[in-house]
Chain A
Amino acid sequence: MRMPEPDQAAIARRAEIALALRRILPAESVIEDGEARRAYESDGLTAYRQPPLVVALPSTTAEVAAVLVYCHENRLKVVPRGAGTSLSGGALPLADGVLLGMAKFNRVLDVDIANRAAVVQPGVTNLAISQAVAPAGFYYAPDPSSQIACTIGGNVAENSGGVHCLKYGMTGNNLLGLEMVLIDGEVVRLGGRHLDAGGYDLMGVVTGSEGLLGVVTEVTVRILRKPSTQRALLLGFASCEDAGECVAKVIAAGIIPAGMEMMDKPAIHAAEDFVQAGYPRDAEALLIVELDGPAVEVDELIARVEQIAKACGSTSPRVSRDEAERQRFWAGRKAAFPAVGRISPDYYCMDGTIPRRRLPEVLAKMQAMSRACGLRVANVFHAGDGNLHPLILYDANKPGELETAEAFGADILRLCVAVGGVLTGEHGVGVEKRDLMGEMFNETDLAQQERLKCAFDSEGLLNPGKMFPVLHRCAELGRMHVSAGKLPHPELPRF
């Protein structure tokens, strides 16, 4: 993966830049030392590592604005970072860029139960929001698997999802307001505790913009009353087709479960070996269907789902009788990634979304690819919304296997796009899928997105090297005329 050519002049100015930042921030909030910088060298996509030029750790909006003004005036690149749990390299530092760590923004500012809102700083973890509102019987719905560590600021940047998106939406569907600092230090407030933007929905487009448009300094989220009941079904099937049919029939019956998770046989076995959740080892596919809401409704719908599952050939459906059993059903699914980590030295987690009915075909083709390249693959699948997480098993110590795994992963994502799906459902483009953007978007589509970037950051200083395969200068985009399929400016460097 090529990153933009580092600006050697900026690197040579490291000491001067650190000194300038120490005039803006307390001395201990600027990290210049090589070893200390190394702590920030990667995020959740650990295949890529790069210590930043210098780390700045502001603790107020005014400090963020001052740092950005300085960087803007000095044409310095800036990489914002929350907890650094991105799986797509969204927070991967740049050798010539200031890493803006938002960890000090760690306070819950207001819990406003009557308006069903919580105002938090961006460095608060996803789970801490739910914990802060739990005494009132409320929670924050999006629940990415990294929720104990990942921050809400990072969730906004990545539009993070979780296992309950079909019913409760992603981060973007659960935000009420943002405060954000633009690269030139201007502070804008979007939304509030009321619903919908009065003008353009800038909050909507900032959500999921991967740190390329601005730095979020305050987040107002919508919180929900905890459902009074949660129950789950554990359903084994003789084929992925049957399991997929069951999912379709549940939805066609007018039922929107809180979660519908599917695992294929390799994932079932890995999970069962690891946590003994009681999954049926003979099943080719496993479904966990969870319903939540008022008790009477959950009981009624659970019975209907069980009937549908039986009609689709599930041999021994099990319904959770109590909270402990529900947790047990989930234990294997939640341990699926580490479980796969036990059976393979390394694994590579993919994140495409497909129209659900294409699942059998996609799985079959994936198996053929797996055989062809000699790498095993296990699948966990947010079946309700079509978000597929193939886990490619490989050994980084074997020469060439990482490259084979990455090529296999790219082929899977191309396949997702080919059947009408997308490159990423919740992990983001980052550096990981940057060069695949052309599989889904043509040059005109990408140019429109880049022009939007220019409206926020005309110098391209915020998080460059992420999301876009080719970085155009805004002035060039301004006069660019593209005809379909023909790449403009072939002389520009691609990275």
Chain B
Amino acid sequence: MSDLLEPATAEELAAAVAASEGPLELLGHGSKRDFGRPVQASQVLDLSRLSGVTLYEPDELVLSAGAGTPVAEIERLLMANGQMLAFEPPDLGPLFGQEAGRGTLGGMIACNLAGPRRIKAGALRDYLLGATAVNGRGEIFKTGGRVMKNVTGYDLCKLLAGSFGTLAAIASATLKVLPAPEAVRTLMVRGLGDSAAMLLMSRAMMSAEDVSGAAHLPEAAARHLPHADVGTAVTLLRLEGTPRSVAQRLAMLAKELEAPSEELGEIESTVLWRGLRNLLPFRGDHTAAIWRLSVPPTAGADVLRACGPVERCFYDWGGGLIWLAVAPEGDAGAARLRTALAASGGHATLVRAPIAIRAAVDVFQPQDAALAGLVRRVKESFDPLGRLNPGRMYAGA
């Protein structure tokens, strides 16, 4: 029996799962292979041959492709048609020491990735219209469809998104896509402390100017931005739309915020937000443990303060998403970070850490007994034999 299975069709994928005698590690390009708890697998199920866009109808806003299709290929195709993946999936590869621009559709779905536009446009889970997948029994099933509006049966797509390959191996999927904005500009405010920045972002998000990105970088993180001459903390607000609309809203927003601000142009903005999306502030750091905290936006600064010392950090999603780096020692801060967000609610995910730490601490937010029991039963309903990425998210699930 080969250690590497490389199905090229959904039927071959189903046969491979059905015939497997032990746990399988699901793999696309491997760009995020070190995200999650280590999987003890006897075989690798490589999905990258399930590749290719099978349907793209720009005026219907839908795209279907095999799970192994490179995200870069999909984004190139969309860009050529003036469209985009609105949820701005980050390229996490470089964080794990992989080259940039890798990653497959299946991997992106498995991690439910979303970037700065999450606050306006939603996450991947909001754009996954349908999928064909193979459960742990080796059965092909489909869920959802190719239309925008569909409530026929349980929306299993929601479970596939963000389940890290523990429920099913996706063979192909259909996404909703959106037109790309014609223009983008950024309003930058310098020198704010974290709490003041939370307030500013909150006011910007409450305004009528339709902010599509709101991030704050303390000075240590701002130093790693593309235009590295800032020398201060920066708070960044993005506006997108038609050129006239963006220009006018930018002026309005600047006035409403009553803080000295400066405008970043089209190219600068594009580069900047791509950098934030792809975690540029952590580039060059290959060792620190990296966490991702999702909290109520206004709680961001308080949560971070309660976390204690961190090496580097920045806020996205108007303060609701905190990326932070700590020393890769002990529990990599798991206990103190999770204590810090207990009051506000939210979750902390250990995105990058040495394998020994990921095996020892809860990579994903621990759950109370009722929820953990439900999660275990859900896992069993898809994968009763524990064949698919067992233990990747939770011990025994």
- Taking Cβ atoms with an 8 Å cutoff, the residues of A that contact B are 112-117, 136-137, 158-159, 161, 165-166, 169-170, 172-173, 182, 186-190, 192-205, 207-209, 225-228, 248-249, 251-252, 254-256, 293-294, 296-297, 300-301, 353-357, 382, 384-387, 420-429, 433, 437, 440-441, 444-449, 451-456, 467, 478, 481-482
Contact = CB atoms under 8 A, between A and B. Distances in A.
B42 interface: no
B179 interface: yes
Contacts of A296: 244-245, 248-249
5 contacts: A200-B159, A202-B378, A425-B147, A448-B382, A455-B374
Contact of A200 (B163, B206, B348, B370): B163
Given A113-B206, A199-B393, A301-B242, A422 B378 contact: no
B153 A449 contact: yes
Residue among A209, A296, A357, A421 with the highest chain B CB neighbour number at 10 A: A296
A320 to B, nearest CB: 19
A158 B382 contact: no
Nearest to A213: B154
Residue among A115, A166, A226, A301 with the highest chain B CB neighbour number at 10 A: A115
A160 to B, nearest CB: 8
B268 interface: no
Interface of B: 57-62, 82-83, 112, 114, 118-119, 122-123, 125-126, 135, 137, 139-143, 145-159, 161-163, 167, 178-180, 182, 202, 205-210, 241-242, 244-245, 248-249, 294-298, 317, 320-321, 344-349, 364-365, 367, 370-371, 373-375, 377-378, 380-382, 384, 393-394
B381 A208 contact: no
A194 B155 contact: no
A353 B150 contact: yes
A427 B150 CA distance: 9
A205 B151 contact: no
A193 B345 contact: yes
B378 A294 contact: no
Residue among A202, A249, A254, A423 with the highest chain B CB neighbour number at 10 A: A254
Given A173-B126, A437-B153, A454 B381 contact: yes
Contacts of A161: 149, 151
A456 B380 CA distance: 12
A387 B145 CA distance: 13
A447 B207 CA distance: 47
A186 B377 CA distance: 14
A423 B241 CA distance: 35
Contact of A116 (B139, B206, B209): B206
Given A201-B112, A225-B206, A294-B248, A195 B147 contact: no
A205 B146 CA distance: 18
Contacts of A421: 145, 147
Contacts of A425: 147, 149-151
A178 to B, nearest CB: 12
Contact of B135 (A169, A387, A448): A448
B178 to A, nearest CB: 7
Contact of B205 (A116, A192, A294, A440): A116
B60 A357 contact: yes
A456 B59 contact: no
Given A115-B202, A452-B154, 20 more contacts: A159-B155, A192-B345, A194-B294, A195-B321, A197-B347, A202-B375, A204-B125, A225-B206, A225-B208, A249-B59, A300-B242, A357-B59, A387-B149, A420-B145, A422-B152, A424-B150, A433-B152, A449-B153, A451-B381, A452-B159
Residue among A158, A195, A301, A427 with the highest chain B CB neighbour number at 10 A: A195
Contact of A196 (B140, B162, B244, B381): B162
B188 to A, nearest CB: 21
Contacts of A196: 112, 114, 118, 123, 125, 162, 294
B241 to A, nearest CB: 5
Contacts of B83: 254
B142 A173 contact: no
B295 A159 contact: no
B211 to A, nearest CB: 10
A165 B118 CA distance: 17
B149 A426 contact: yes
Contacts of B244: 296-297, 300
Contacts of A112: 296
B153 A198 contact: no
Nearest to B146: A420
Contact of B152 (A115, A440, A478): A440
Contacts of A301: 242
Contacts of A194: 294-296, 320, 344-347
Contacts of B143: 445, 448-449
Given A166-B148, A248-B59, A296-B244, A444 B140 contact: yes
